[in-house]
Amino acid sequence: MIVKEIIEPKSIVVVGGSNDTRKPGGKVLENILRGGFDGELFVVNPKESSVQGVKAFPSCGDISPVELAIFAIPAGMIPEAMELLASRGTRGFIVLSAGFSEMGEEGKKLEAKIAEIARSAGGTLIGPNCIGVITQKYKGVFAGPIPEYDPMGCDFVSASGATAVFILEEAIVRGIKFSEIFSVGNSAQIGIEEVLEYWDETYQEGKSSNVKLIYAEQIVNPQKFLKHTLSLKAKGCRIAGIKAGRTKAGQRAVSSHTGAMAGEDTAVDLLFRKAGIIRCEGRLDLVNVAGILLGKKPNGKRVAVVTHAGGPGVMLTDTLESEGIDVPRIEGKDAEELLSHLNYGSSVSNPIDFLATGTAEQLDLILNYADNKFDNIDSIAVIFGTPGLFDVTNVYEVLFSKQRSSRKPIFAILPSIVQAKDAIERYKSLGGNYFNDEVAFGKALAKVLKTELRETGETKSFEDIDVAKIRNIIQQSRDGFLPAMGTIAILESTGIPFVATKLVKANEELIPAIKEIGLPVVMKVVGPVHKTEVGGVEVGIASLSEAEAKFAELMKIERAEGVQIQPVANGVELFFGVKYEKDFGHIIVFGLGGIFVELLKDVQMCLAPITTAEAMEMVEGIRSKAILEGFRGKPSVDKVSVCNILLRISNLVQIAPEIVEMDINPAFGNGGKILAVDARIKIQTTK
Ligand code: ADP
Ligand code: MG
């Protein structure tokens, strides 16, 4: 929990405050002083009586009680100082110093110790090994440019102090404002999840910023992360984030395809998607997305491109269209009326090009039309630079005032960062933010639109799932792969049809089984995990004598326990899978069977429980989707039926969370019929 002393301290002590502003203890003090902190401020520094004009005390025991302590002293000295302060009522602790868990075992112990001191004081520890915190009340950071505070600017939490600083560098240049910034460092007590929890619990509409930015490397408590991101989004927040680093899952040796594949992507990636966070690739991408999120929220995906320079307008249009965002044609009476007010040679059909001679008045008019009259437009991107012949300050002033007054979002792409430097500064001083590259902007906008306008759908439960039977089988099974017939029973109880299968263990059972199934049949060995690899699958056995010979052959395979007899199924081979990821839960996987999954890794994944919309997204998301639609005379597969299987699997893992791996590979899809022919389920009762 983040106590109020971290957010609004009435008094602060900088332990290790210094006159040398090239040191963290000097810089943080300077930033607090420059930031206009209006509470009581103390410095503890045994060597000085006054530091940067602030009275300095030799020890933490010498100052009157303070609410917040910021430490910039060697790690080993911190526990004692913290304990002393805690005993005198301090509840906020920010440890800038490094030398903790990042340094190995000793450091880990030290870190656990300071976290425990904060915890038992009922307080909050930020860090250690962080650059600090910025709130409205104080600028408690030792590094980086300090952005202008705006309660409606971006709230930002970062696992890396240096990354946060570099993001601020770019953001400030672009006019992006910030409200609260937390650098969580080693996250001894407060990680990204806890900061999100705090923003969620203190959110007040109209008073709190609704743009949240995240730089994460690791999510320790995925369920908490998801809970608060979803809750913030439900309150109207817009969240973007970078996730760097991968989970350890990929390194783990796993026995099934799903396991290997699920490890390659990462559970954190899937968590971000589940939470509806706009995923950014890097700093510049995050800054572009942040600039978009600070604007108004578009109601749809249709964009008007307004420019006085052809090229960038074309590039932006290309980018948007290729990302699946509409740049619709603008025509009709209103379009003609607008055209009549523009210079000869202009075009309004979208892109709206009002030529190099375009004026501020014309821009004003265009924006009026685009905002109020063109119904097929949801947002407007204006690209306006200058070849240096005239001042564009008045153009940017119009742009800014329209951004404020319009109903639809208007985005400013201002390429002339040298020639229009002063005009851009003026625009920023009014409160505007801008983009400097139309292609990067277009990609960022596409990402925002696709994430925010994405349908979420509902989870679905199925009345016909035989929960009791599934529980019964699981409870009677030992950890590891379930026996073949148990696997089939679980799938059938879940409502996932499995091809008629007879298990034959002795010669005399063979002919009756084949007669029951009917020729031709498929025969496969039972026992080995991967059957094809050991020559254990034969499709299309057409005679009884052939079957008898095959049976003898299959039973000779190492670990053979019997042979399955199945009819020959046909259609498109589909793959369904499940992989359990500790703390994150079950990952559901979908793709086409055979080489599509194994060689091309063309799969889609989603964290369970999945919704109807997420199931459809998975089906639509595979690259080889066209094959489902019927390719070269092959049967097509009904996508809704595929979704239903995915939704049933999602139900299954909730009923039987002991399932740690499951592969249905393949199931044959033919129209609305989906029929599994091979499956394995691995369970683990203790996780
Ligand atoms: P494994 O994956 O252990 O090698 P499978 O049971 O998946 O064994 O069989 C391998 C391949 O044989 C399948 O991918 C599929 O192409 C084909 N096959 C298996 N069972 C059938 C069946 N009943 N009808 C048609 N083809 C089948
Ligand atoms: Mg198989």
- Cβ neighbours of residue 27 closer than 8 Å, sequence gap 6 or more: 21, 142, 143
In this structure, what DSSP letter does residue 294 have?
Answer: T
- The amino acid sitting at 554 is L
Each residue's pLDDT tens digit, 641-671: 999 999 999 999 999 999 999 999 999 999 9
pLDDT at 286: 98
Q: What angle do CA 240, 458, 444 make, to 5 degrees?
A: 25
Ligand 1 pocket check for 17: Cβ under 6 Å: no
Testing ligand 1's pocket by substitution, the residue of 502, 539, 557, 559 carrying the most ligand atoms inside 8 A of its CB is 539
Q: For 265-303, what is each residue's pLDDT tens digit?
A: 468 889 999 999 999 989 999 999 999 999 999 999 999
From residue 394, give the alpha-carbon distance in Å to each of 54, 349, 360, 400, 426.
46, 25, 6, 10, 10
498 CA from centroid of ligand 1 (Å) = 12
**Ligand 1 in reach of 680 Cβ (< 6 A):** no
pLDDT digits (tens, 9 = 90+) for 141-195: 999 899 999 999 999 999 999 999 999 999 999 999 999 999 999 999 999 999 9
Calculate how far, in angstroms, residue 591's C-alpha sits from the geometric centre of ligand 2: 13
Average pLDDT, the chain: 94
Atom of ligand 1 nearest to the CA of 665: 7
Cα(57)–Cα(14) distance, rounded to whole angstroms? Answer: 10
What is the per-residue pLDDT for 245? 66
- Residues 6 or more apart whose CB falls under 8 angstroms from that of 55 comprise 42, 43, 49
Residue 666 Cα, ligand 2 centroid: separation in angstroms?
Answer: 5
- CA–CA gap between residue 681 and residue 511 (Å, rounded): 29
Tokens linked to 162: 């240096």
Nearest CA to ligand 1 atom 19: 677
Question: How open is the CA angle 165-4-211, to the nearest 5 degrees?
Answer: 45
Rounded CA-CA distance 374/369 in Å is: 6
Pairing of strands 679-683, 659-670: antiparallel
* Residue among 253, 679, 681, 665 nearest 480 (CA): 681
**Is the shortest distance between the CB of 257 and ligand 1 below 6 Å?**
no
For residue 4, CA distances in Å to 7, 10, 128, 189 come to 5, 10, 19, 15
What confidence score (pLDDT) does residue 444 get? 98
Quick one: tokens of 330? 């603008």
Cα-to-centroid distance, 508 and ligand 1 (Å): 24
In this prediction, what percent of the chain has a pLDDT beyond 70? 97
The answer, yes or no, to whether residue 687 has pLDDT greater than 80, is no
What confidence tier does 113 reach under pLDDT thresholds 50, 70, 90?
very high
| Cβ–ligand 1 contact at 110 (below 6 Å) | no
C-alpha 533 – ligand 2 centre gap (Å): 10
Alpha-carbon 165 to chain mean position:
21
Q: Give the closest residue to 668 by CA, choosing from 587, 543, 567, 563.
A: 567
Q: Which of 517, 524, 550, 665 to mutate to test the pocket of ligand 1 (most atoms within 8 A of CB)?
A: 524
CB of residue 539 inside a 6 A radius of ligand 1: yes
Closest by alpha carbon to 320, among 308, 332, 328, 310? Answer: 328
Q: Which residues share a beta bridge with 181?
A: 134, 156
| pLDDT tens digit sequence for 551-607 | 999 999 999 999 999 999 999 999 999 999 988 999 999 999 877 777 778 899 999
Whether the CB of 522 sits within 6 Å of ligand 1: yes
Q: CB–CB of 42/53 below 8 Å?
A: no
What pairs with residue 667 in β-bridges?
Answer: 574, 676
Bridge partners, 562 (sequence order): 526
Domain locations in the chain?
4-131, 147-245+256-293, 310-451
Residue nearest atom 18 in ligand 1 by C-alpha distance:
539
| Three-class SS state of 165 | helix
Q: Is the pLDDT of residue 259 over 50?
A: no
- Which CATH superfamily is 310-451 part of? Succinyl-CoA synthetase domains (3.40.50.261)
Q: Give yes or no for residue 535 CB within 6 A of ligand 1.
A: no
Q: For residue 633, how far is its CA from the centre of ligand 2 (angstroms)?
A: 24
Peptide bond before 520: cis, by omega within 30 degrees of 0?
A: yes
Please give the pLDDT value at position 269. 83
Q: Is the CB of 591 under 6 A from ligand 1?
A: no
Grade residue 254 by pLDDT with cuts at 50, 70 and 90: very low
Give CA–CA dist 529/533, Å, rounded: 9
Q: If you average pLDDT over residues 504-512, what whole number do you get? A: 95
Does the pLDDT at position 264 exceed 90? no
For the CA of 569, the closest atom of ligand 1 is 24
Q: List pLDDT tens digits, range 76-89.
A: 999 999 999 999 99
Place domain 147-245+256-293 in its CATH homologous superfamily.
Succinyl-CoA synthetase domains (3.40.50.261)
Q: What does the pLDDT average to over 314-319?
A: 97
Share of the chain above pLDDT 90, in %: 88
Digit-coded pLDDT (tens) for 412-439 = 999 999 999 999 999 999 999 999 999 9
Q: Is the pLDDT of residue 523 over 90?
A: yes
| Residue matched to tokens 């572009």 | 288
- Sheet-wide strand order for 562-567: 502-504, 562-567, 521-526, 537-541
Q: pLDDT tens across 431-481, in order?
A: 999 999 999 999 999 999 999 999 888 999 999 999 999 999 999 999 999
Q: How many CB atoms lie within 10 A of CB 152?
A: 14
* Closest alpha carbon to 675 in 517, 484, 499, 523: 499
Query: Which ligand approaches the C-alpha of residue 524 most closely?
Result: 1
Would the CB of 534 count as within 6 Å of ligand 1? no
The CATH superfamily label for domain 4-131 reads: NAD(P)-binding Rossmann-like Domain (3.40.50.720)
The closest-lying atom of ligand 1 relative to the alpha carbon of residue 532 is 4
pLDDT for the residue 388: 78
Ligand 1 in reach of 417 Cβ (< 6 A):
no
Asked, colleague to colleague, whether 4-131 and 147-245+256-293 share their fold, the answer is: yes
Whole-number Å distance between alpha carbons of 59 and 626: 72
Q: Which atom of ligand 1 is nearest to the CA of 530?
A: 3
- Positions of E strands within 529-678: 537-541, 562-567, 572-581, 585-592, 603-607, 659-670, 673-676
Ion ligand 2, residues whose Cβ is below 5 A away: 665, 678
Cα 634 to averaged position of ligand 2 atoms, centre (Å): 21
